[in-house]
Structure 1
Amino acid sequence: MAMKEYKPGTAFNGIIGRTVDESSPAWPEPVRSREGMPNVLFIILDDTGFGHLGCYGSPIRTPNIDSLAANGLRYNNMHTTALCSPTRSCVLTGRNHHSNAMACITEGSTGFPGSNGNIPFENGFLSEILLQQGYSTYAVGKWHLTPSDQSSAAGPYDRWPLGRGFERFYGFMSGESNQYYPELVYDNHTVEPPKTPEEGYHLTVDLVDKAISFIADAKQVAPNKPFFLYFATGAMHSPHHVPREWADRYKGRFDDGWDAYREKVFARQKELGIIPANAEISRHDPDVKPWDECTSEEKRLYARMMEVFAGFLEHTDHHIGRLLDFLRSIGEFNNTLIMLLSDNGASSEGGPGGSVNLSRFFNNIPESMGENMKAMEKLGGPEYSNHYSWGWAWAGNTPFRRWKRETYRGGVSDPFIVHWPGGIKSSGEVRTQYSHAIDMVPTVLEALEIASPSAIRGVTQSPLEGVSLANTFDDANAPGRHHTQYFEMFGHRAIYHDGWRAVCPWPGPSFTESGQFFGAPLSSERLIELDARGWELYHLAEDFAENHDLSAQNRPKLIEMISLWYIEAGKYKVLPIDSRGTLRFMDERPAIAPPRMNYTYYSGTQMIPDQQAVNVLNRSHSITADVDVPPGGAEGVLLSQGSDEGGFTFYVKDGRLHYVHNYVSKVLYHVESREPVPEGRHQLRYEFEVTGKPDLPGGKGTPGRGQLYIDGRLVGQADIPVTIPIRMTLGGGIVVGADPGAPVTMDYRSPFEFTGRIHKVDVDVSGELIKDAEAEMRIVMARQ
């Protein structure tokens, strides 16, 4: 007799008698997918511009991504939000970023419904939907969708990947990661990378390995069970890290500079048909120095920075190819719906001259051309945290103007490729229908013939705000379904409607023309002026790259578009408009644990992320380790924070107590005890006494005197004339009993675990805290 099943929540349909022989069993029906359902793979690149991929006209080699385009579809009218986390929330929910409370990255959240950083549970993730349909669900790589105060081991975990429908996760929670020494999370706990850079470790390789293993784990048990993989590389976000041999493949390829790059890419885009034949390239950006005006040293350095970026992108493409090859090897490639997207345009966060150490840049510490030239041959390696200059960001968004964080097309128009041989007959074609990241979820649901659920885990769902692109798969002339789309990012606004686009740039079309920089405050009075005179109008059907402002010639259309922006803003919780940089990131927010004067840390625990860690900078403080030293002595780190880019470490070596303050890899200040640490239980203490005032704008934190104590007895001291002023490091939180990753000092090899016993470490920070709010904001924005 066939096995009986019944849907969970319905009545048992078997027979229950007094004994088994007069009874008939029935089983709750397992969640199963329909036979033959396709897999779904989202590949989300970071900070990759419209003109960066080979199949979009770039000279950078991306053969595996190009193969997806050659056998699939390229869209030339796909849009994002201009920023990382907001776009990713759209990709996974099918709702606009303000509807997702993601007006900004979570570190810049504010106390308004469209900006509080907590994606509502009524906006279900695609992972949650497909999990109900019998899919395996995996997230690998960058997340950055959990409020920053909820990203530590204290939780809560309901907005971590495993709380939003993903069964397995391997990657990093923040907006950026060191490619050689990442802060990795496996499911709901932190882990160390499996290898060192010397052993060949690179994050992209690791992420692809893990993605393959996740799929293989399930397929070997249930080969017919489909999967949804959200694969989000840390590439191409800074730091631009790649083994030297990959960067060297591009030696000399960018010596003619960013102006020449744009012209060549623009011509190639026309040859490929990825832009209209009548398209015009955008103007030379006023904030970018013409290549011919750069010095010979600048040209050499900037060209090498772009060589490293290009090698990084080709390296990323190569390892994406390994994932695709694995799908081929198990017979799943043709039955996998693949969508590849960049989260925003190319990034300008390296500044006008680029950076070889972002920790210095965001601590207001100047990088001299001489120092940067010395670093040039090692760019891309673990020694530096490098990012190219504004000129290459502008070039990477060819043919459009501007870049990430702005709602001109350079910030919001991105490469988008769809590949699905098992479901799409067309291949190698370009699609021109207007689309937005919110359209990806509705497209998948229509392609899979799955209805958007009315409830997920008992939570009634909000309507999807995107529209499906499935009608364009096999019909290049299918009518576009996406008629209207608003944009807003840090007060920079735009609106699209049926072939027209209006843009209101803030603080202006460029920093040079406006006389103001990103984050300039926008008052209500200034907003009235902007709405009267600050909007530009473009007819995209005739002006692909937004070069001809028609606002003066067609005032009625402009007024219609401005009015429509406000209608959409009201509908999707966009208001209030918030352009603030400094003040926005310094807003008080709810916290799992508010700042306090005394912190206690324990051995054997997970790393505390920097945003939840104690802040010892620019204040008198003490670190006291309660330890047991075994017979024969002990050595190792007691407490550390940071990396070789900057930080501190408190440790025992050669029997003596040590403290090192790494001033952003420029100088290491070392305090050593005069006498050895005795056996037994002891209080080992470091005190920092402020002896002067900081110069935060000048890149100098408070000077002070470092003192070492054993059981209250002074055993060593030294003056520390300058300390890190703003942020210890862009990565690497507090760790008890070790210094993992790139060590703060070369006095030992990582992780240099303490060989005695640490009962606890107390950190007292009752000294007055001095902060630079504007610099803090720039650091947060660097981690998008």
Structure 2
Amino acid sequence: MPEREFHGHIGRTYDESEPWWPEETRAPEDAPNVLLITLDDVGFGQLGCYGGLIDTPNIDRLAENGLRYNNFHTTALCSPTRSCLMTGRNHHSNGMAAITEVSTGFPGYNGHIPHENGMVSEALVEEGYSTYALGKWHLTPAESTSAAGPYDQWPLNRGYERFYGFLGGDTDQYTPALIHDNHQTEPPARPEEGYHLTEDLAQRAIEFIGDAKQVDPDKPFFTYFCPGACHAPHQVPEEYIEKYEGEFDMGWDQAREQILEQQKKAGVVPEDTELSPQNEDVQRWDSLSEDEQRLYSRMMEVFAGFLEHADAQIGKVLDYLEELGELDNTLVMLVSDNGASAEGGPTGSVDENRFFNNVPEDLEENLEAMDDLGGPEYFNHYPWGWTWAGNTPFRRWKRETYRGGASDPLVVSWPEGIDARGEVREQFVHAIDVAPTIYEAVGIDPPEEVKGYSQSPIEGTSFAYTFDEPDAPEQHVTQYFEMLGTRAIYHDGWRAVRPWPFGEPMTTEALSATTIEDSGWELYHVEEDFAEANDVASEHPEKVLELAQLWWTEAGKHDVLPLDGRSVQRFAEARPQPGKPREQYVYHPGGQYIPENAAVKVFNRDHSITADLTIPVGGAEGALLAHGSRSGGYSLYVTDNRLVYVHNYVGVDEYEVVADEPLPEGDVSVRMEFEATGEPDLSTGKGVPGTVRLFYDDRQVGEGEVPVTTPITTGLTAGLSCGKDSVNAVTDVYREQTPFAFTGDIARVTVDVSGEPFVHEEAELDRIMARE
């Protein structure tokens, strides 16, 4: 191996020998640091420097010291865009057509980024850079996120030397599911102690950078900083929400007009830009009741506070770099991974787990929760009218290939490398262009080999040519888009879009028609019609045909085929799973929690939970097995020295069954048996009712009825833990004592699910897709 070659001389003694050390790999002289900040679900019209109504002073100062791009595009979805940013290849080339939870067994769709598509981190770490990733990752196959691995797609095996964040698509900001390097870790503080994830991530970024700089100040860093903001849950300290009280009472219709006016003043849209037409799915603000307006305004106030809070944490990192004297030679790129998100639905939500379980939102209940939105009690999201406004001036939103889903902010600042200040660039740029731009700025060529893998060609185009040449001819002139069966293509100032029919459900038939038929393309001359406001397909049928054919050519190049317009079936597609299906799952205390996708599935079926315990003299207390969070789940625990089972129905009600007598001291096997006594009605959000029986050894000591159970999922933010509850406790009974670790001894906990499972595939798809 070359690294073992010795270039000195070995004689019989030291005096006859010549020592040798390999030359240390150093980055190019004066190579810049690189800070890539990736926001989540932030629309084109939400940042202050893009004309938004939310204060983002720290992002604005980056724009004032650099450039804003008004023609930057993403894939319209989270994981696919992030794969483009990291590799410089298209999302299908990365196997990341959508999020990994809906992967299929085809090269463009399998959810595994090939090692032949090396990441920027893998290249820069070999060029003498320190490499750090913080926050959201969501690039690891869903089946590989548990302690069973494999770990080859975790950050530390894709070129990052340090990682602190979360692997999935979202997490609770107050009680996050944290990973530190390659292992789970608990948050360093609790919500009542002032903990918030974005603040934690900023502090960790400062620590990571400082740890290396104090030892080797000349060594540059590449830091990939990805706060969960502003993906749901919209959670932020109260003082940030209070600032925006009443600021959105005008409603989303007027907000769009105000934003467009400010965008024109800021120069981020042409002066002749028109608002795109009324969104077919969005109610007009003046048609809403007074209570609805009051609630929806509050939900937007929470989002605004969440974004400004994230901006403040970005500011802390920038201030630290300035303090170190590193900011001027740091290439900072700030992007959003897709347009604003419509996953709150038409009414918004106080807890997305109700949506996943088909439990309707109740206006009266949500009004009662209004004052606490943004706090740790709720997993809230705003209504999609605010999504539409957040993507001003464009139409539609995340998941769709209109500009509302795929056109996003891009701010670039590098004082020592870019002379321009506060200017706007209009050249077409795509997420695949970020990696080659970093390579050019650093002064290296993309590697031909990474870890023994010959590298595929970079598919993006560096946009460094735009840094000091505002009128330079556009170099990225063609780009295809495909997301969940919908399509678009940009070419030389024109954009063709093939959506699904508005107002129609995303059924298999509708999406299949969308993907198979070549009729129904819309055409926009975006060089003259910035907002895609006017469909001119009927006026230019030859251009429509040209672009549709070009789309198929690009699709053939980049593993977009076979087109897949399925919905339910796509979720149900067989894919690798962590372990073989089994009738009994055995858990032990003291280990890591089990992510939701790897945990036992008990809903809507007969099942039992058996715990083999040793109870000390004087009794014991604590959680034996807990699965879920405050948003829904179940827990078998001991309190007052009695066995208790609780079922949390989507955060709405808790049903408790308590043993009639105390636990005996010494060895005892305790058991909960759930017998389904009816059928589920998933369309109305109701899982099976059931009878719960409690046993000490084989002696029944308790019985009770659970009239309704959670029908589909415990939620996305916790998982299953043995011997304690997660930081986001299932029940109010012991929430203040979290993690409520069991004070006796647990040999094992066995969950028996030998009964036939019930699966509602369409609802499962909705649940998974909201993690984008």
CA distance in 1 between counterparts of 2:284 and 2:352 reads 24
CA distance in 1 between counterparts of 2:559 and 2:545 reads 21
After TM superposition, the structure 1 = structure 2 runs for residues 81-160 of structure 1, keeping only pairs within 5 Å, are 81-160=75-154
CA distance in 2 between counterparts of 1:175 and 1:721 reads 32
Displacement of 1:540 in angstroms is 1.1
Which residue type is aligned with residue 689 of structure 1? E
For the residue of structure 1 that corresponds to 2:487, the secondary structure is strand
Residue 765 of structure 1 is matched in structure 2 by: 753
Whether the 8 Å CA contact 1:585–1:776 is kept in 2: the answer is: yes
Residue 200 of structure 2 is matched in structure 1 by: 206
Displacement of 1:221 in angstroms is 1.1
Whether the 8 Å CA contact 1:8–1:28 is kept in 2: the answer is: no
Whether the 8 Å CA contact 2:603–2:710 is kept in 1: the answer is: yes
Query: 1:15-71, CA deviations, whole angstroms, 9 ceiling, x for partnerless residues?
Result: 221110011111122222233221101000000000000000012000000000011
CA distance in 1 between counterparts of 2:256 and 2:512 reads 38
For the residue of structure 2 that corresponds to 1:466, the secondary structure is coil
Residue 657 of structure 1 is matched in structure 2 by: 643
CA distance in 2 between counterparts of 1:756 and 1:28 reads 55
Which residue type is aligned with residue 155 of structure 1? G
Displacement of 1:757 in angstroms is 1.1
After TM superposition, the structure 1 = structure 2 runs for residues 283-298 of structure 1, keeping only pairs within 5 Å, are 283-298=277-292
CA distance in 2 between counterparts of 1:567 and 1:522 reads 24
1:733 counterpart = 2:727: no
CA distance in 1 between counterparts of 2:5 and 2:621 reads 65
CA distance in 2 between counterparts of 1:283 and 1:362 reads 30
Further displaced range: 767-776 or 517-526: 517-526
Residue 567 of structure 2 is matched in structure 1 by: 581
CA distance in 1 between counterparts of 2:205 and 2:614 reads 42
Q: 1:673 aligns with which of 637, 646, 659?
A: 659
For the residue of structure 2 that corresponds to 1:676, the secondary structure is coil
The alignment's TM-score, normalised by the length of structure 2, stands at: 0.98
1:441 counterpart = 2:435: yes
CA distance in 2 between counterparts of 1:370 and 1:540 reads 44
CA distance in 1 between counterparts of 2:359 and 2:272 reads 46
CA distance in 1 between counterparts of 2:276 and 2:595 reads 42
CA distance in 1 between counterparts of 2:630 and 2:578 reads 30
Q: 1:475 aligns with which of 465, 469, 473?
A: 469
Which residue type is aligned with residue 272 of structure 1? A
Residue 4 of structure 1 is matched in structure 2 by: none
CA distance in 1 between counterparts of 2:764 and 2:141 reads 17
CA distance in 2 between counterparts of 1:598 and 1:537 reads 55
% of aligned pairs identical?
59
CA distance in 2 between counterparts of 1:763 and 1:178 reads 27
The verdict on how the C-alpha distance between 1:307 and 1:572 changes in structure 2, with shifts beyond 3 A counting, is same
CA distance in 2 between counterparts of 1:349 and 1:343 reads 15
CA distance in 2 between counterparts of 1:577 and 1:68 reads 40
Whether the 8 Å CA contact 1:536–1:549 is kept in 2: the answer is: yes
Displacement of 1:740 in angstroms is 2.2
Aligned length: 770
Displacement of 1:220 in angstroms is 1.2
1:505 counterpart = 2:493: no
After TM superposition, the structure 1 = structure 2 runs for residues 381-392 of structure 1, keeping only pairs within 5 Å, are 381-392=375-386
After TM superposition, the structure 1 = structure 2 runs for residues 212-223 of structure 1, keeping only pairs within 5 Å, are 212-223=206-217
CA distance in 2 between counterparts of 1:658 and 1:669 reads 10
Residue 396 of structure 2 is matched in structure 1 by: 402
Whether the 8 Å CA contact 1:35–1:224 is kept in 2: the answer is: no
For the residue of structure 1 that corresponds to 2:365, the secondary structure is helix
Residue 245 of structure 2 is matched in structure 1 by: 251
Residue 23 of structure 1 is matched in structure 2 by: 17
Displacement of 1:526 in angstroms is 6.0
Q: 1:182 aligns with which of 155, 168, 176?
A: 176
CA distance in 2 between counterparts of 1:75 and 1:762 reads 55
Whether the 8 Å CA contact 1:649–1:659 is kept in 2: the answer is: yes
Q: 2:272 aligns with which of 255, 278, 281?
A: 278
Whether the 8 Å CA contact 1:521–1:581 is kept in 2: the answer is: no
Residue 744 of structure 2 is matched in structure 1 by: 756
Residue 316 of structure 1 is matched in structure 2 by: 310
Please list every run of 5 or more consecutive structure 1 residues that lacks an aligned counterpart in the other structure.
1-6
For the residue of structure 2 that corresponds to 1:326, the secondary structure is helix
Residue 3 of structure 1 is matched in structure 2 by: none
For the residue of structure 2 that corresponds to 1:494, the secondary structure is strand
The verdict on how the C-alpha distance between 1:469 and 1:641 changes in structure 2, with shifts beyond 3 A counting, is same
Query: 1:67-87, CA deviations, whole angstroms, 9 ceiling, x for partnerless residues?
Result: 000111000000000000000
Further displaced range: 16-25 or 28-37: 28-37
Residue 428 of structure 1 is matched in structure 2 by: 422
For the residue of structure 2 that corresponds to 1:418, the secondary structure is strand
Please list every run of 5 or more consecutive structure 2 residues that lacks an aligned counterpart in the other structure.
none
CA distance in 1 between counterparts of 2:581 and 2:46 reads 43
CA distance in 1 between counterparts of 2:310 and 2:391 reads 19
Residue 625 of structure 2 is matched in structure 1 by: 639
Q: 1:166 aligns with which of 146, 151, 160?
A: 160
1:618 counterpart = 2:612: no
For the residue of structure 2 that corresponds to 1:501, the secondary structure is strand
The verdict on how the C-alpha distance between 1:399 and 1:32 changes in structure 2, with shifts beyond 3 A counting, is same
1:195 counterpart = 2:192: no
Displacement of 1:645 in angstroms is 1.3
Residue 701 of structure 1 is matched in structure 2 by: 687
Further displaced range: 352-361 or 300-309: 352-361
Residue 266 of structure 1 is matched in structure 2 by: 260
